[in-house]
Amino acid sequence: MNDFEIEPTRAQSDREKFLRPEWLERLRLKIARNKALELVYRLVVLAIGSVILLAGVAMLVFPGPGWAAIVLGLLILATEFRWAEILLEPLQRLINKLASRAKDPQARGENIVFVLVAVIAIALALWWYLARYGVTLEPLPFIN
């Protein structure tokens, strides 16, 4: 190991084992050696990922967690298809940017101020509403 390589910590290696158990890696390698099984496996991944992806697109119009399903479908497809990985790269960059911002002490302070201002604004709006209309199950006067 040279000076530039970082040895993985125990937590990192445990996480990798959890995400990709050895038995799953061995099974995937066995499937990859057989052309027919490889084709079937890729078609199953394509079918499952596409169904979840299309359900997510439908949930953008209908009730449901549309964006979460779209990301999940792309994650499933990215296990086998490079084009899905490419579609996920902007999301990965955004997540990395948000994670680095969360670790930055100055940005964290700005986030705390933003949250405090938002909580105060919501509390004032709620106070105004309760002072004006009170607690009631009656419909609001401006709603017919």
Find the radius of gyration of the CA atoms of the chain: 24
End-to-end CA distance of the chain: give it in Å, rounded. Answer: 74
136 within a domain of the structure (yes/no): no
Place of tokens 């911002």: 101
44 within a domain of the structure (yes/no): yes
Listed in sequence order, the DSSP H helices in 1-139 are 10-19, 22-33, 35-61, 66-78, 82-103, 105-133
Name the residue among 75, 71, 93 with its Cα closest to residue 19: 75
Binned at pLDDT 50, 70 and 90, residue 3 comes out as very low
Can you give the pLDDT at residue 1? Answer: 46
67 within a domain of the structure (yes/no): yes
Tens of pLDDT, residue by residue over 40-93, are 999 999 999 999 999 999 999 988 898 899 999 999 998 888 999 898 899 888
> Percent of the chain beyond pLDDT 70?
81
Q: Domain count for the chain, please give it.
A: 1
> What is the C-alpha separation between 136 and 72, in angstroms, rounded?
41
> What is the C-alpha separation between 122 and 118, in angstroms, rounded?
6
Domain range for 37: 10-80
128 within a domain of the structure (yes/no): no
Residues 6+ apart with CB under 8 A from 74: 49, 53, 84, 87, 88
91 within a domain of the structure (yes/no): no
> Do the beta carbons of residue 38 and residue 30 sit within 8 Å?
no
118 within a domain of the structure (yes/no): no
pTM recorded for the entire structure? 0.56
33 within a domain of the structure (yes/no): yes
